[in-house]
């Protein structure tokens, strides 16, 4: 079954409320498992954000959003996975709203490796958001309000209105949301490694497939190696790997230009903000994730530490960059790794495809003639990823 067929099939049969979804005619199924996010004490409150539960756009305090703390995540697996002693965690990009894009990716990884693939949502993404954030009518009103409020606003749509408003209002959310996801992943991986996962038998290794901002989170996880859980893990980074200051995050599908510039400037001048925010200062300075996060946001921060960790991890990382990617350009990834150690450039493979694609839509639906090209490009990426992530 080619990529387009798989995409249509899984989009049609997947539903987050079904506990078990067999894929017709295949040794493959999707399980939806419940998760409770327990480490949330550092999330901004309604008082800090200056918003309220009754605010029309429901952009209230992060610690008041139940959907973010109690949610389900899908696992693609089958009988073959029972023979594997490894699992793969797939981490998505910024501002994703559902799993449609990623289910074929997970299926491809499962088919090529025999390893179960866990699709885990980043905080306040996919199904960890209130329904209002996905309501086109509500978000259109917010996008129009932002256009009235800010002159020179571009790349603003109902698709990125909620995340743009949240991050421009309180840029530190980029870190606190990532930190919550970090602790969620530590718990998930602990369950898998210790044989306490509700579905998967005990695994010796957990590998990563990280795309876009999910690649950034993967890098931080690998650099931290919490509790030595990831000592034997490998990671494939797809369309990611650069420090944030080298990214171009303004996109109709990700962030509007005002939100991205506010976010970028905030973290490039983070020390100024930390003096006025003791709580953030504590979780940035006293936690390994905070130190490595800063080193991946600002290329000038802790450059020696970053270089040493990636040198240590060189045999555990591979990167697939795309020539026409404008959000996380291949040159930005090469600059990030080349600045540390020219030998690390060997980790990066740059691909290009003979059709129009973007960072946000790598494998687009095309006309009949181009569909074959897209299907071949998909196989090219996931053949490489599967080959590398096999134990």
* Sign of the CA dihedral with 50 first, then 52, 55, and 60 last: positive
Taking only the tens place, the pLDDT of each residue in 183-233 is: 999 999 999 999 999 999 999 999 999 999 999 999 999 999 999 999 999
CA 335 – CA 246 distance, rounded (Å): 9
Decide: helix, strand or coil at residue 68. helix
Count of domains for the chain = 1
Residue 148 burial class via C-beta count within 10 angstroms: exposed 0-12, middle 13-18, buried 19 and up: exposed
Q: How many CB atoms lie within 10 A of CB 94?
A: 23
Residue at 166 is within a domain: no
Query: Does 61 or 136 have the greater pLDDT score?
Result: 136
Encoded tokens for 284:
């940035």
Q: What is the pLDDT of residue 227?
A: 95
pTM: 0.95
Residue 305 burial class via C-beta count within 10 angstroms: exposed 0-12, middle 13-18, buried 19 and up: middle
pLDDT at 180 over 80: yes
pLDDT band at 287 (very low <50, low <70, confident <90, very high): confident
Rounded alpha-carbon distances, angstroms, from residue 159 to 103, 132, 134: 20, 12, 8
Residue 381 burial class via C-beta count within 10 angstroms: exposed 0-12, middle 13-18, buried 19 and up: buried
244: phi then psi, degrees, rounded to nearest 5: -60, -35
Q: What is the pLDDT of residue 345?
A: 87
Residue at 12 is within a domain: yes
Tell me, what CATH number does 356's domain have? Answer: 3.40.50.1820
Q: Which helix (H) or strand (E) holds 88?
A: strand 86-91
Taking only the tens place, the pLDDT of each residue in 62-96 is: 998 999 999 999 999 986 545 689 999 999 999 99
Q: Compute the mean pLDDT over every residue in the chain, rounded to the nearest whole number.
A: 92
Residue at 194 is within a domain: yes
Please, which residues bridge with residue 77 across strands?
29
Residue at 197 is within a domain: yes
Share above pLDDT 70 across residues of the chain, in percent, rounded to a whole number: 93
Taking only the tens place, the pLDDT of each residue in 149-170 is: 999 999 999 999 999 999 999 9
Taking only the tens place, the pLDDT of each residue in 2-38 is: 999 999 999 999 999 999 999 999 999 999 999 999 9
Residue at 159 is within a domain: no
pLDDT at 386 over 80: yes
Q: What is the pLDDT of residue 81?
A: 45
The residue segments making up the domain with residue 367 are 3-40+70-130+171-255+278-389
Residue at 339 is within a domain: yes
Range 289-304 average pLDDT: 94
**Do 96 and 123 form a contact (C-beta atoms < 8 A)?**
no
Taking only the tens place, the pLDDT of each residue in 334-373 is: 999 887 677 788 899 999 999 999 999 999 987 666 889 9
pLDDT at 54 over 80: no
Q: What is the pLDDT of residue 53?
A: 44
Residue at 139 is within a domain: no
pLDDT at 245 over 50: yes
Decide: helix, strand or coil at residue 285. helix
Q: What is the pLDDT of residue 30?
A: 97
Q: What is the pLDDT of residue 83?
A: 64
Among 242, 212, 231, 229, smallest CA distance to 348 is for: 242
Residue at 158 is within a domain: no
pLDDT band at 49 (very low <50, low <70, confident <90, very high): low
pLDDT at 379 over 50: yes
Range 310-317 average pLDDT: 94
Rounded alpha-carbon distances, angstroms, from residue 90 to 101, 119, 148, 217, 370: 12, 5, 38, 11, 27
């Amino acid at each position: 079954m080619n990529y387009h067929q798989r995409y249509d099939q899984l989009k049609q049969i997947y539903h987050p409320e079904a506990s078990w979804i067999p894929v017709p005619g295949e040794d493959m199924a999707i399980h939806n498992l419940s998760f409770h996010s327990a480490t949330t004490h550092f999330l901004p409150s309604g008082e800090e954000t200056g918003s309220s539960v009754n605010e029309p756009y429901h952009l209230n305090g992060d610690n008041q959003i139940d959907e973010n703390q109690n949610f389900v995540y899908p696992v693609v697996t089958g009988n073959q996975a029972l023979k594997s002693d490894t699992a793969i965690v797939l981490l998505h990009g910024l501002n994703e709203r559902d799993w449609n894009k990623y289910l074929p990716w997970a299926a491809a990884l499962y088919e090529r490796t025999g390893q179960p693939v866990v699709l885990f949502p980043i905080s306040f993404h996919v199904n960890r958001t209130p329904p209002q954030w996905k309501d086109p009518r509500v978000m259109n009103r917010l996008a129009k309000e932002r256009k009235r409020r800010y002159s020179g606003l571009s790349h603003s749509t109902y698709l990125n209105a909620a995340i743009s408003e949240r991050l421009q209002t309180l840029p530190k959310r980029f870190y606190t949301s990532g930190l919550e996801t970090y602790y969620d992943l530590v718990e998930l991986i602990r369950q898998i490694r210790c044989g306490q996962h509700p579905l998967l038998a005990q695994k010796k290794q957990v590998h990563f497939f990280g795309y876009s901002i999910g690649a950034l989170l993967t890098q931080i996880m690998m650099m931290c190696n919490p509790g030595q859980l990831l000592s034997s893990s490998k990671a494939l980074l797809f369309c990611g790997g650069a420090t944030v200051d080298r990214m171009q995050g303004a996109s109709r599908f990700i962030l509007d230009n005002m939100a991205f510039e506010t976010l970028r400037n905030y973290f490039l001048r983070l020390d100024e903000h930390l003096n006025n925010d003791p709580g953030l200062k504590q979780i940035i300075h006293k936690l390994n994730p905070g130190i490595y996060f800063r080193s991946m946001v600002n290329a000038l921060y802790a450059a020696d530490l970053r270089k040493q960790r990636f040198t240590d991890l060189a045999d555990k990382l591979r990167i697939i960059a795309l020539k026409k990617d404008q959000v996380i350009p291949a040159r930005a990834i090469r600059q990030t790794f080349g600045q540390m150690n020219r030998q690390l450039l060997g980790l990066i493979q740059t691909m290009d495809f003979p059709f129009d694609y973007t960072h946000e839509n790598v494998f687009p639906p095309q006309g009949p003639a181009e569909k074959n090209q897209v299907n071949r490009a998909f196989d090219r990426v996931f053949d490489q990823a599967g080959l590398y992530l096999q134990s």
